[in-house]
Structure 1
Amino acid sequence: MNVNFYVTCIGDALKANVAKQSVLLLEKLGCQITFLEQQNCCGQPALNSGYIDSAMAGIKNLIRTFEVNDYPIVAPAGSCVYAIKSYAHYLQNEPEWAKRAEAVANRFHDLTDFIVNQLNITDVGAKLEGKAVYHPSCSLFRKLGITSEPIALLNKVQGLELLPIANQQTCCGFGGTFSVKMAEISGEMVKEKCQHIMEVEPDYLIGADVSCLLNIGGRLHREGRSVKVMHIAEVLMSQ
Structure 2
Amino acid sequence: MDVRLFIPCFVDQLFPETAFNMIKVLEKLGCTVSYDENQTCCGQPAYNAGFREESKAVCEKFVRENISNSAYLVAPSASCTGFVRNYYPKIFDNSSVHNEVRDLRSRTYEFTEFLVDVLKVEKLGARLAVKATYHDSCAALRECKIKEGPRKLLSNVEGLDLVEMADNETCCGFGGTFAIKYEPISISMADQKVNNALQTGAECIISTDLSCLMHLDGYIRKKGLPLKTMHIADVLASGW
Q: TM-score, length-normalised on structure 1? A: 0.97
Shift of 1:46: 0.6
Indicate the SS of the match to 1:114. Answer: helix
Following superposition, the deviation at residue 206 of structure 1 comes to 0.6
Kindly indicate whether residue 220 of structure 2 is the aligned counterpart of residue 212 of structure 1.
no
1:63-142 alignment to 2 at 5 Å? Answer: 63-85=63-85, 86-92=87-93, 94-142=94-142
Q: Give the aligned partner of residue 155 of structure 1.
A: 155
> RMSD of the alignment, in Å?
1.0
Of 70-79 and 56-65, deviating more is 56-65
Q: Which runs of 5+ in 2 are unaligned?
A: none
Which portions of structure 1, spanning 4 or more consecutive aligned residues, are displaced by more than 3 angstroms? none
Whole-Å separation in 1 of the counterparts to 2:237 and 2:228: 15
Partners of 1:130 and 1:158 in 2: how far apart? Answer: 10
Post-superposition offset of 1:100: 2.1
Structure 2 residue aligned with 1:182: 182
Contact 1:36 1:66 in 2 (8 A): no
CA contact (8 A) 2:203 2:227 kept: yes
* Corresponding position of 1:164: 164
Partner of 1:89, secondary structure, is helix
Q: Which segment drifts farther, 80-89 or 70-79?
A: 80-89
Q: Do the aligned residues in 2 keep the contact of 1:116 with 1:149 (CA within 8 Å)?
A: yes
Are 1:28 and 2:28 an aligned pair?
yes
Runs of 5+ consecutive residues of structure 1 not aligned to the other structure: none
- Aligned partners of 2:134 and 2:165 also within 8 Å: no
Aligned AA (1:60): E
1:52-67 equivalent positions in 2, closer than 5 A: 52-67=52-67
Partner SS state of residue 95, structure 1: coil
**1:8 Cα offset (Å):** 0.9
The amino acid across from 1:88 in the alignment is: P
Counterpart AA for 1:125? G
**Percent of residue pairs identical:** 35
Residue correspondences, number: 238
Q: Which amino acid aligns with 1:43?
A: G
Render the CA deviation track for 1:178-210: whole Å, top value 9, x for unaligned.
111211111111111111111122121111101
Matched residue SS, 2:226: coil
